[in-house]
A and B are shown apart, each in its own frame.
Chain A
Amino acid sequence: MSVSKQEAAKAYWKDNLRLMLILLAIWFAVSFGAGILFVDQLNHIQFFGFPLGFWFAQQGSIYVFVAMIFFYVWKMNQYDRKHDVHEE
């Protein structure tokens, strides 16, 4: 790898790690946070006919997971091109 390519790869990896950590934080917050640790507190709030904590635990976290992966795919495709490491 040439020096500029190595630089690009490094910058790409940094962007990737940042995106991943942000998304993992959301992943943790909706499932372990809202669905488990704070489920009782959130259950006092009503949300479209559900206690909110229960909704996160049995519905909401799953929707967020799906949306999150598609967002990740979209963002990573951008990063691939930005740093010129995309597949031919």
Chain B
Amino acid sequence: MDTQTLIYLFVGATFALYIGIALWTRAGSTSEYYVASKGVHPILNGMATGADWMSAASFISMAGIISFIGLDGSVYLMGWTGGYVLLAMCLAPYLRKFGKFTVPDFIGERYYSQTARLVAVVCVIFISFTYVAGQMRGVGIVFSRYLEVDINTGVVIGMCIVFFYSVLGGMKGITYTQVAQYCVMIFAYMVPAIYISMMITGNPIPQLGFGSEVTGTGQSVLERLNGLSTELGFATYTDGSKSTIDVFFITMALMVGTAGLPHVIVRFFTTPTVRAARLSAGYALLFIAILYTTAPAIAAFARINLLTSIPELTYSEAPQWVTNWEKSGLIAWLDKNGDGKIQYGPGAPFAGAPTFGPERGVNGERMVTNAPTEAATELYVDRDIMVLANPEIANLPGWVIALIAAGGLAAALSTAAGLLLVISTSISHDLLKSNLMPNISEKKELLAARVAAGVAVVVAGLFGIYPPAFVAQVVAFAFGLAAASFFPAIVMGIFSKKMNKEGAIAGMVVGLAFTFSYIVYYKFIFPTAGPADWWFGISPEGIGTLGMIFNFVAAIAVAQVTAAPPEHIQHIIEDIRIPRGAGAAIDH
């Protein structure tokens, strides 16, 4: 069978599986719809959290980004895993004991204030929409790359699938589809990784191969990589080029942001007990760590491969995968010095992503129409190549390519579905049931949740089809805002009996306003700014950390001078601190 048929087969089979699961796990009550009736086993919840968490960006782009920036890539590796430690120890068990459905539920009740709840709802919706816009685009891109349809058709197909299982099954349906998606995704990631590791180091375990010797050179992977990088004029792989303070702040913002993201937190509402909530956090990180410790190994292997297999070859000598991916525009070569050989070095060969003219160059390459830069480098390599081209680089059969297509789609769909559910819950539960229409019946609330999910899917799809120019820039928003708003408010709500509503609201507003303005200013109003212009050299990606500190300071200061929280709130806090009685909380 040819590769294209295999791709249709694999993607079709996995979709049939997801839809089958959705039909089998239809939600009949709001508790099933919002939190899967709090009956999810910790291992399954761990897998679902992993799939929810790892998006198309983690699956396709992360290894490539690390591959190009070396040590600096650690901010993502540590930042997107370290947050689970905070979740496990500071948030998950207590929020599970509290026993409601959403983050605004907790904020609203703990701070005895509808205003606080409303601030929280607005944050949830804003954060989740920013995040989901990128996911739908990701779905479209994966579809277009593998199924030979255009991106917009891909977005629409993705919308239909997500619509089907999130609207029908709610949290219950999503959880079990995410378990399946996790399995598809991790298998698809590991198979090529193991082969590449064997090919380069002879060790089948990528994490160990990463520290082994490159076959036939007598050098370790990283020594070889540093040597090759220096030879071609790149910075050494194991040294960073970002300032230490910036790396520190970005890592912290990503960690704390992870712990404050509503679609991650809500997963811990679905476990049957407090014990299970703690354990789920452990399993979630374990399942995430499998991919996250493999990614830097893939990054290094792929980089060695790139640096040894292309430079100074002629176009016709270059490996087959170069011409294959040139077709989809992920690789481009511009023979600037006319020597017929591919030179590769630091910098960009031309401005922006390649646009191709109709004709071929003298060597047979696709001619780009971009204006060349001063740099000597002639090769454009899209960083996604590092994962996408792996099966071809390792000479793997067609079914592995099909597997990666199914894995990439699983990654994008699972994250999108988790986010859409959070949005729909915020609208039907936090906005309608808790604010505008407190007397709404359960049946109507469930209907409202489904309608909201449907509308959210359509809006997210429109974002995917007409991506706002800033989509690539807004990931910083989601993490920064989550770090600067929810994390401090929830942590203080659990660990401080003195924190009152005035303090919490002041903290959230200060944290949000500061982080929001900083990002808007340095991303959109003054985008040419560099480290010299930033406060203390902190980039917009890392500013959420400072926002978080401001949140804590403002909240504590205001709480000092205002009235302590009422008696019954003190009892709530005492109650959520001990696990006993969590079962009873289900029927609230």
Contacts and interface: CB of A to CB of B under 8 A. Distances in A.
Interface string A55-71: 10111011101101110
Contacts of B89: 20, 23-24, 69, 72
A45 interface: no
Interface residues on chain A, size class: 35 or more
Contacts of A20: 89-90
Contacts, number: 134
Interface of A: 1, 9, 12-13, 16, 20, 23-24, 27, 31-32, 35-37, 39-40, 43, 47-51, 54-55, 57-59, 61-63, 65-66, 68-70, 72-73, 76-77, 80, 85-88
B164 interface: no
Contact of B285 (A13, A37, A55, A65): A65
A48 B211 contact: yes
Contacts of B78: 31, 35, 57, 61-62
A62 B292 contact: yes
Nearest to B272: A87
B558 to A, nearest CB: 24
Contact of A35 (B66, B74, B289, B579): B74
Contact of B77 (A16, A50, A58): A58
A31 B578 contact: no
Contacts of B109: none
A86 B276 CA distance: 12
B383 interface: no
B81 A62 contact: yes
Interface stretch (B110-118, B246-254, B321-329, B408-416): B246-254
Contacts of A57: 71, 74, 77-78
A69 to B, nearest CB: 4
Contacts of A72: 88-89, 278, 282
A39 B77 CA distance: 15
A23 to B, nearest CB: 6
B579 A86 contact: yes
B244 A36 contact: yes
Contacts of A63: 289, 293
B77 A62 contact: yes
A51 B196 CA distance: 22
B214 to A, nearest CB: 10
A80 B580 CA distance: 9
Nearest to B219: A49
A56 B239 CA distance: 13
A9 B577 contact: yes
Interface string B232-269: 00000011100010011001100100000000000000
B162 interface: no
Contacts of B71: 39, 54, 57-58
A65 B85 contact: yes
Nearest to A38: B244
Contacts of A65: 81-82, 84-85, 285, 289
Contacts of A43: 238-239
Contacts of B292: 62
Given A36-B248, A39-B240, A58-B74, A50 B582 contact: no
**B interface: dominant SS:** helix
A16 B94 CA distance: 12
B170 interface: no
Given A20-B89, A61-B82, A69-B84, 16 more contacts: A9-B578, A13-B578, A16-B577, A36-B247, A40-B239, A47-B211, A48-B211, A51-B238, A58-B71, A58-B74, A61-B77, A65-B82, A68-B85, A69-B285, A72-B278, A73-B282
B80 to A, nearest CB: 10
A12 B579 CA distance: 11
A36 B82 CA distance: 13
Interface string B532-550: 0000000000000000000
A68 to B, nearest CB: 6
B85 A62 contact: no
Interface string B545-588: 00000000000000000000000000000100111111100000
Contacts of B93: 76
16 contacts: A31-B78, A35-B74, A36-B248, A36-B251, A59-B207, A61-B77, A61-B81, A62-B77, A63-B289, A69-B88, A69-B89, A73-B278, A86-B579, A86-B580, A87-B580, A87-B581
A15 to B, nearest CB: 12
Given A58-B73, A73-B282, A77-B275, A50 B222 contact: yes
Contacts of B84: 65, 69
B248 A37 contact: yes
A23 B85 CA distance: 9
B40 interface: no
Contact of A37 (B239, B244, B281): B244
Contact of B282 (A24, A27, A70): A70
Contacts of A77: 275
A9 B575 CA distance: 9
Given A65-B289, A69-B282, A85 B82 contact: no
Contact of B275 (A9, A12, A59, A87): A87
Contacts of B286: 66
Contact of A88 (B66, B90, B583): B583
